[in-house]
Amino acid sequence: VEQQAITPSVTEAAQINAWEAQLNEPGANQALVGRWLFEHLFLAHIYFEGGEAGHFFQWVRSRTPSGKPVDLIATRRPDDDPGSDFYYRLIPVP
Domain assignment of residue 53, given as a range: 1-61
- 71 part of a folded domain: no
What is the model's pLDDT at position 2?
Answer: 63
With bands split at pLDDT 50, 70 and 90, how would you rate the model's confidence at 5? confident
- Alpha-carbon separation of residue 50 from 10, 18, 23, 28, 34 (angstroms): 10, 15, 21, 32, 24
Q: 3-state secondary structure string, the chain?
A: CCCCCCCCCHHHHHHHHHHHHHHCCCCHHHHHHHHHHHHHHCCCCECCCCCCCCCCEEEEEECCCCCCCCCECCCCCCCCCCCCCCEEEEEECC
Does residue 90 belong to any structural domain of this protein? no
Q: Establish if 47 belongs to a structural domain.
A: yes
Q: How many domains does the chain have?
A: 1
Q: Is residue 33 part of a domain?
A: yes
In a domain, 1, yes or no: yes
Residue 15 belongs to a domain: yes
Q: What pLDDT is recorded for position 4?
A: 73
The reply to whether 40 falls in a domain is yes
Residue 1 pLDDT: 59
